[in-house]
Structures are given as structure tokens and as C-alpha cells.
Chains A and B, each alone.
Chain A
Amino acid sequence: MRRTHPLISAAALLTMGFLYLPLLSVAVFSVNATRYGLVWRGFTLDWYIQLVHNEFILEAAWNTLVLAVASTLVATVFGTVLAIGLDRFPWSKRTNTFLDIVLHVPVVIPDIILAAALVVAFGLLRALSSVFEPGLFNMIIGHITFQIAFVALVVRSRLVSIGREIEEAARDLFASTPYILRRITLPLLLPGIVAGAMLAFTLSLDDFVISFFTAGPESVTLPLFIFAAVRRGVTPQIHALSTLVVLITVILIIGMERFTRK
């Protein structure tokens, strides 16, 4: 085995530290038995217990969950259908390139631009119906708009790796298109769909910008709550809450990795 230069190891360690020390320190402070200061005063789970008794936090957690589940469900269905349509329909080369760009736009566009666009769009829609008042419904739609592209990208890469020959074999064996979809394409695609859904879920879970621009007074989510709370001063509860959010995200990401590797 080749030995790595000590400088490279050092740079790698520093990078890891840079990325993870802030998260780690938040986690440490969330179990530190002191309200203020940077001194370690012993281990406690008080801050976590207090979280459970805080009505606002519970409501925000519930809103976050509803938002993430609803938007992920819709985005997964649309994203999967979109991916199948993009990959399996015999588009001309030029159309294909165009669609590829369109698909990548929501991924690379800054959140703030998308959020501002949504504000404008909902403003116009409000003239048609009061459903589009700022609130959870708008937030769900907002999250779906960027989640679809992520789901479609993940599912499409899986479609490409499956290839077409297996579907051709199924057609050769007298299968109709719906039968192929049900018995061959979707089962083979399932890991990709689940991975896409998990990615969409984590994106929704910790989204701040889109939520901030589309939320109403009744629809505070955890990221919005944390943002508001931090402006009043960082409390150990916030540390505990942040740690929990990070933990859930990490678990979901590990789960997604597991699924896609299969």
C-alpha cells in the first residue's frame, strides 16, 4: 500500500474537523448541564426533556413532519413518472438535451430565487382562490417543486443502470406495457425510488428558505422555529433540537446509501 504524505493526512483531518466540529459542539452543548457559558458542567438530558414539554416545538415538529411526508409522497410519484418518461420515451437528441437542462435547473438554481418566484406565483394564484394564502398548503407545493427534480435524477440514474434489454426481453415474452411496468420496471426501480424519496424527505426536513417565504403564522416548522429562537439567543433546547434534526437526517442518509448500493 502507498503511504500518504503527512500533509495530506493533516489536510484531510482539518477538513473533517471544519465540517463536523460545529455539529459536534452543538451536540455536546445539548447535554451540558448549564444554561450559559462554554464550560462543561456535567451530563444531562434535561434539555431534551424540556423539548417534549414545549408546545411550540411539538407543533413545529408536527408541521415539519406533515410537510415532509406530504410533499415527499407527491414528489416521489411525479418524479418517478417524470424519470420514466424522460428515459424511456424515444426523444430526439435535441429534445433530450433540452429536457436534461430543464431537469437540472431546479437543482442548481439558488433556493432564494425559487422562493421569490413562488411568492410571485402564489400571489397571482391568490387572486383565483384563497387556498393559496401563505401556509402549509403553499409550503407543500413549494417543496414539491424542488423535490421532483431530485427524485427524477435519482430514479433516472437507476433506470439507466437497469438498461433496456431486460424490458425488451419481457416484451419478447408476450408482456404488455402495463405488465412490464408492474412486474419488471417498478420492482427493479424500487431501490432508486426509495432512495429518491429519502433524499426528498431530508431536503424537505431541513429546508429553511422555501419554507420561510411560503409559511403562514400557523405553519411554523422546526427550521423556522430554530431561526426565530436563535435571534432571541441560543438556548440549550435549541442545541438539543438541532442535534435531533441532524440525527434524523444522518439516519435517513445512511438508509439511502444502503438502499442504493444494493
Chain B
Amino acid sequence: MNAQVGKGLTVRGIDKRFGLFRALADVTLQVHEGEFFTLLGPSGCGKTTLLRIIAGLELPDAGQVVLGGQDITSLPANKRQVNTVFQSYALFPHLNIFENVAFGLRSRKFTQEEIQSRVNRRLEMLGLEEMDRRYPHQLSGGQKQRVALARALVNEPDVLLLDEPMSALDARLRAQVQEELRRLQRKLGQTFILVTHDQAEALVVSDRIAVMNQGRIIQFGTPKDVYERPENQFVAEFLGAANLLHGRGVDKGIETAIGFFHLGQTPPWDQGTVAIRPERIRIASQSPARNGVRARVRETIYRGPNLDLWLEPGPLRVRTPSQRDYESGEEIWLELPPEGLVILDE
């Protein structure tokens, strides 16, 4: 393993059980300094437990948490340079916004002037300067979320943890906040670790994503990696829609029930699966030179900018710009280009 760079975070061989339930199974990951890292997975996959272990709110049964070269596994939460934005925000209801944000500085006995200037700077940065005398119950969901963010960031943590911070916001606001969060992280250059079950959110904000399922990390990669090159069926299906083709692996191709398809390389298995995203399938005007399929439109779903077609045989899902309409029963040619077909692990 490489020498630790700066204030990066390493998690090594973490195991955690709750009774008979194994929440985390030998989880290892490395987060670089200044990176926006996302733990993505369905509910119950262990991502929040892992976050709580990094925060120091939960002790692992085995394994290590190393921050900036120092083993912090058994250090309690109040001794770690790590701060958290909680899912419910957990603002202090009896303290006003200024005191909420100042809490971490007061705990560490900063001087009054220091507190004043740091808190005001954060409130200003997040557009909350008018709110400092209000109380949490007087704020909207979006404002509360920004207070929670300010309260954590004011401490300039080595790592900022975000536990599904967008889940309480409505869809429109969420999209806007995701972009803001992304920009904020770029500007500050701080390490962020986000936990989410929303794949679209993960793709928007992250530098790197770890996809988790059943207490394990299934795949690491950039958003483009995990979306375009999923390694297995779970990742392919969890990150958006995917067409799965089962068949027999042959030299640089796969023999399926709907025909033979050329692949960029030879699959490492005899029987297996390849995946293709609906938007990677092309609609051709005539029989393509290779990887063509003659298909009949069964159903069309209008999605605004795009149109989803469900086709026989398959069923295959194709996503196409919605300029042209398709009739149910219409026959069209499809091309499944080799670069769009991804070989999945067994």
C-alpha cells in the first residue's frame, strides 16, 4: 500500500455485526485528501454503519480506521477531526442558528472573537447571514440542511461525512443542492464522504464511488467507470437501467437467444451475461453490418427529452431522443455496438 498522502482516510478490514446480522464484511477503502467520495448502495447495505464507524459513533468488531497516518479506530467521536451532517440534520432545537454553528468551536474553547469571525464567515458562505438569530424550527428544510453543513464545516474537519443529507428535500431542490454541494467541495478542497442510495446523486457529486451491497464493497470507480463499465449485474442494475443478455461466451463475442454479438474482447466465462445501457443501443434505418437485431415496438414511454421503447425480442429497453414517434407494433432495426456491451463477472 502506498504511503498515506496528507490527510487521506484509510479503512482497513472493517467488520461489524449487530447480533447475528453482519452489517459490514471486511470492508477496505482508501479516500484521498480533497476527494468527494460516495458510498452508494440500497438501504441496509451497511453504508451508514460504515459512516458511523468513521465518525466514531460506532466501534467496529475488527479492522482499522486511519486518518492522516494516525490510527483513530478507538478514538471517540469528540476526539476526531471528522464532522458529520446527519440525515435528520440533528440541529440543537434550543439554540439559535449562530449558536448551533458555534457549538463545535465552543466545545473546544475558542475565543469569542475567533468564534464570531469563523461562524459569520460560514454563515455568509452558505447564505445564512440573515438567519443567525433564528431557531431551527423557523427554517425551511433547505435552510436547515445548510445550517447543518455550516455547523460541520466551521470546524474545518479533515473529513466531512454526509449521511443522506438530501433525502429530506423535494426533488427540485435536491438537484440544485447537489450541484451546490459539488461546487462547494471543489472550492474548499476538503475531503467529503457522502452516503446515499440515490445513484443519480452519486453520479453528479462524486469524484469516486464505492458501490456497496450486503455489507461489502462491490465496485470502486469514477462515476463514469461504475456507470459505463459495471463489473457485475448488481452494479449494472443499481446504477440506472440496463439490458442484460445471457449467453455462451465465444471468441470475441457472445451467442445469445436473440443472436450473436461481437464484443471488444473474449469473455472470461463459458456461460455469462453482458449488459448494455438503453441509450447505447442505436436505432438503424437498415440492417446494420453487425450486432443487428430486428425488433418490434411493444410499448413507448415518453420521458420528456427521451423516449423509452420496450421491444420484442428481449424485452429490450432502448432510450432515444424523443424527436420521432414510434407506433406500437412497428418493426425497426437495432444495433448493439460492441463498445456499449459490457462483460459482467459471473
Contact = CB atoms under 8 A, between A and B. Distances in A.
A175 B78 contact: yes
| Interface magnitude class on chain A | 10 to 19
Given A179-B107, A188-B93, A188-B94, A172 B77 contact: yes
Contacts of A170: 92, 103, 107
Contacts of A165: 86, 88, 90
A173 interface: yes
A168 B86 CA distance: 9
B172 interface: no
A173 B103 contact: yes
Interface in B92-108: 92-94, 103-104, 107-108
Nearest to B84: A172
Residue of A165, A172, A183, A187 with most partner-chain B CB within 10 A: A172
B313 interface: no
B76 interface: yes
A173 B57 contact: no
B151 interface: yes
A44 interface: no
B309 interface: no
- Which interface residue of A171, A176, A179 has the most chain B CB atoms within 10 A? A171
Nearest to A169: B90
A187 B83 CA distance: 23
Nearest to B106: A183
Interface in A173-198: 173-176, 179, 183-184, 187-188
Given A176-B78, A188-B93, A171 B108 contact: no
A193 B92 CA distance: 19
Contacts, number: 58
B107 A172 contact: no
A209 B76 CA distance: 50
A166 interface: yes
A145 to B, nearest CB: 33
Given A174-B104, A174-B155, A169 B92 contact: yes
Contacts of B83: 172-173
Contacts of A172: 55-57, 77-78, 82-84, 152
A174 B56 CA distance: 11
B78 A184 contact: no
Contacts of A188: 93-94
B93 A171 contact: no
Interface string A242-254: 0000000000000
Given A171-B77, A173-B151, A174-B78, A166 B90 contact: yes
A49 to B, nearest CB: 46
A171 B92 contact: no
Contacts of B77: 168, 171-172
B338 to A, nearest CB: 49
9 contacts: A166-B90, A166-B92, A171-B76, A172-B55, A173-B78, A173-B151, A174-B107, A176-B107, A188-B93
A-B complex: 7 closest residue pairs judged by Cβ atoms: A173-B104, A169-B90, A174-B107, A165-B90, A175-B107, A171-B77, A174-B78
Given A165-B90, A172-B83, 5 more contacts: A170-B103, A171-B76, A173-B104, A173-B107, A174-B78
